[in-house]
Amino acid sequence: MADIIPSINAPTFQEVQERIAKVEPFTVSGAEPYVSWCHLDVTDGVFSNHATWHDPADLLRLETKLNVEVHLMVEKPEDIIDQWLVKQIKRVILHLETLADPDAMIRKCRDTGVQISFAIKPDTSVSLLGPWLEKVDMIVLLRVQPGASGQQMQSEMLGEISYVRKACPGCIIEVDGGVTVDNAKRAVEAGASLLVAGAAIFSSHDIEKAVKELRNG
């Protein structure tokens, strides 16, 4: 069983807010809230040919009970990182493929009390993560190409999750992209700690049921 994090992939901040509202945590019969984090996909149309909402100034008016992580799928995150280090953001995810100085990004996030995570795309070798496994708060394996929600997960993902888990038994591994009820359990068995899902949640008429099915495999 792994925690499920809803992925918010939207063209406008209004839609970002609407989707967050749909997955706000609540308690049923004394149970724990079924969602405690949300994942904001931010693409600039350069690193990915798909553009989403990407204006950090909007976050100043974001009100939510959820912990928020932002996934910066942008060409030059080092140029804009300061704008995203605001109190509404608890964790920043940066792509190793885009960083000139990963250590500087780790220091900057730590200095502002924001968790730092490094991600890689499906066509990037997982060996690139090696030097950073013990230095960051979380590793993110993006298993679809950066861009639109609803893509199918890359088939080789299980071996890559296992590779990272063996290399770093204590690491938090987040798997993002193409997560469905059909592959969630296998991803967890391979070593995933957290599963990020968008289409599998927001295409459902019963969000609570969708999250529970993903969590229970």
Catalytically active residues, by annotation: 41, 176
Phi, psi of 65 (to 5 degrees): -80, -15
What would the two tokens of residue 92 be? 């920043």
